[in-house]
Structure 1
Amino acid sequence: MTALDLLLPSSCAGCGRRGATCCAACLDSFGPPNAVKVPGVGPPVWTLAAYHGPARELVLAFKERGARALSAWFGAMVAAALASVGSAPWTLVPAPSRVSAARVRGGDHMLRVARAVEIAAVAPVLRLAPGVVDSVGLSAGARRRNLEGRVEVCGRPPPGTTVLLDDVITTGATAAACVRALRRAGVRTHAVVALTSARPQ
């Protein structure tokens, strides 16, 4: 323990318990990849936890409250899950954030997770066109319309198993829009992996 640890003790972003950034109890809320049915997405969708309790708090802390150290934890979880969703070599395509949201968060949060997955290549080839608004509070139909025609492909992933990486599957609108955009660009998405899912397991 350093003097800085004594002055500014670390605490779990999920439950507030002093110690590691993510305590063992909260880490246990994540598990092996679980298939989730998401109409309209196409490729299999896998999630590592349900979006409630400690898992939800950890995602929100990472995404909205600056707990960037959690990227290493999430990266390790995604790395452990990849063998279950496809064969190596893997390429992770992070679901894009709005430019304004990424600016507030100090960068694209899912790109940060993807780069922490040491066994996969990272291809940040998706971006959102202007006009996309925050999806919080939008209905499923409004979420689809919000993204329709506004996910752009600005590159091509290397050959291998292409995996779209997202933080939360809610209605599936983001995953579906990203998969469609990649398909139009001639890129097959083999699987979607989300840290959490708000859909029934």
Structure 2
Amino acid sequence: MRTRLGGRRADTRLMLPDILLDALLDAWALVLPVDCAGCGARDRSLCSVCSDALAPEPVARRLIDGTPVVSALDYDGVVRSAILAFKEQGRTDVARRLAVPLAAAMAEAMSAAAAGAEILPVPTSPAAYRRRGYDPVALLVRRAGLRPTRELATTRRAAQQKKLTADERSGNRDGYLRAVHVLGGRRFLLVDDVLTTGSTIAEASRAVRAGGGEVVAAATLAYTQKRAQHPGVRSLNVL
């Protein structure tokens, strides 16, 4: 039996079983107006031009704490529009297409680090989960045909990262996550949607290590060119 750290309870927000949730999201996507999530063209979830723009081009970096991170796409243009549509407009119909580049980043991170690690998405906040009805990163992992584990939970509310400066983001995430079980002897690949300053993944890494686990690498769907030049993220050509 796994022991809970500090005797604290895991996040108790209501969550549907993954299989049921995925089925409901697929059904709902069928009744949504069908416009391209990348450019707004009518009659398809992603037009051929926008779909081509999601071809993965993995880029490797390393956080200041030493965690290697592989990102699949540049968070700009069509990529940004598609991700925002998926996360903020309920466009779960593009999840399977977005899962392809994320899977490529995960595969690259695993081959560069070590095989056999558990896949651990950085959890969404309870408020964001209630607003959307799903956890975007965990959903993408499942759409990639992989099984995510849930071993992290939030400890408090935090401001939305996109509203903060690069320096404010780090403080906003300090102590934000905790492991819900003792993780001794377990190894993890962290997964998130967009790499900006690296503060969110760094906090997830800290929480895993505080729980006794090991973070072998991280993977993200996309990265931001400007924010990825923050001192917390170092460019890395080869892992």
TM (norm. structure 1) is: 0.84
Task: Say if 1:89 and 1:160, in contact at 8 Å, map to a contact too.
Answer: no
d(CA) in 2 for partners of 1:90, 1:131: 29
d(CA) in 1 for partners of 2:94, 2:182: 28
What residue is the counterpart of 2:64 in the other structure?
40
What residue is the counterpart of 2:80 in the other structure?
56
Task: Say if 1:167 and 1:196, in contact at 8 Å, map to a contact too.
Answer: yes
In terms of mean alpha carbon deviation, does 32-41 or 125-134 score higher? 32-41
d(CA) in 1 for partners of 2:157, 2:98: 30
Task: Say if 2:72 and 2:104, in contact at 8 Å, map to a contact too.
Answer: no
Task: Say if 1:41 and 1:172, in contact at 8 Å, map to a contact too.
Answer: no
> How many equivalent pairs are there?
194
Q: Find out whether 1:74 has 2:98 as its counterpart.
A: yes
Q: Quick one: which amino acid aligns to residue 153 of structure 1?
A: A
User: Which of 125, 139, 151 is the aligned partner of 2:177?
Assistant: 151
Task: Say if 2:41 and 2:47, in contact at 8 Å, map to a contact too.
Answer: yes
Q: Find out whether 1:195 has 2:221 as its counterpart.
A: yes
Deviation of 1:144 after TM superposition, in Å, equals 1.2
Q: Quick one: which amino acid aligns to residue 121 of structure 1?
A: R
Task: Say if 1:86 and 1:161, in contact at 8 Å, map to a contact too.
Answer: no
d(CA) in 1 for partners of 2:116, 2:94: 24
What residue is the counterpart of 1:184 in the other structure?
210
d(CA) in 2 for partners of 1:82, 1:148: 25
Deviation of 1:64 after TM superposition, in Å, equals 0.5
Q: Quick one: which amino acid aligns to residue 78 of structure 2?
A: P
d(CA) in 2 for partners of 1:176, 1:33: 23
Unaligned runs of 5+ in 2: 1-30, 230-234
Deviation of 1:166 after TM superposition, in Å, equals 0.9
Unaligned runs of 5+ in 1: 1-6
TM (norm. structure 2) is: 0.72
Task: Say if 2:70 and 2:106, in contact at 8 Å, map to a contact too.
Answer: no
Q: Quick one: which amino acid aligns to residue 214 of structure 2?
A: R
Q: Quick one: which amino acid aligns to residue 86 of structure 2?
A: F
161 and 84 in structure 1: CA distance in 2 versus 1, 3 angstrom threshold: farther
Q: Quick one: which amino acid aligns to residue 132 of structure 1?
A: A
Task: Say if 1:98 and 1:128, in contact at 8 Å, map to a contact too.
Answer: yes
What residue is the counterpart of 2:23 in the other structure?
none
What residue is the counterpart of 1:109 in the other structure?
136
Instruction: Give identity over the alignment, percent.
Output: 30
Q: Find out whether 1:174 has 2:203 as its counterpart.
A: no
In terms of mean alpha carbon deviation, does 150-159 or 87-96 score higher? 150-159
Aligned partner of residue 110 in structure 1, secondary structure: helix
Deviation of 1:59 after TM superposition, in Å, equals 0.6
Task: Say if 1:123 and 1:157, in contact at 8 Å, map to a contact too.
Answer: no
Deviation of 1:176 after TM superposition, in Å, equals 0.7
What residue is the counterpart of 1:135 in the other structure?
161
41 and 67 in structure 1: CA distance in 2 versus 1, 3 angstrom threshold: farther
d(CA) in 2 for partners of 1:161, 1:13: 35
Cα offsets for 1:151-187 (capped at 9, x unmatched):
1112467988632111111111101101111111122
d(CA) in 1 for partners of 2:34, 2:175: 43
155 and 121 in structure 1: CA distance in 2 versus 1, 3 angstrom threshold: farther
Task: Say if 1:46 and 1:193, in contact at 8 Å, map to a contact too.
Answer: yes
Task: Say if 1:33 and 1:84, in contact at 8 Å, map to a contact too.
Answer: no
Q: Quick one: which amino acid aligns to residue 80 of structure 2?
A: R
Cα offsets for 1:49-69 (capped at 9, x unmatched):
111100000010001011012
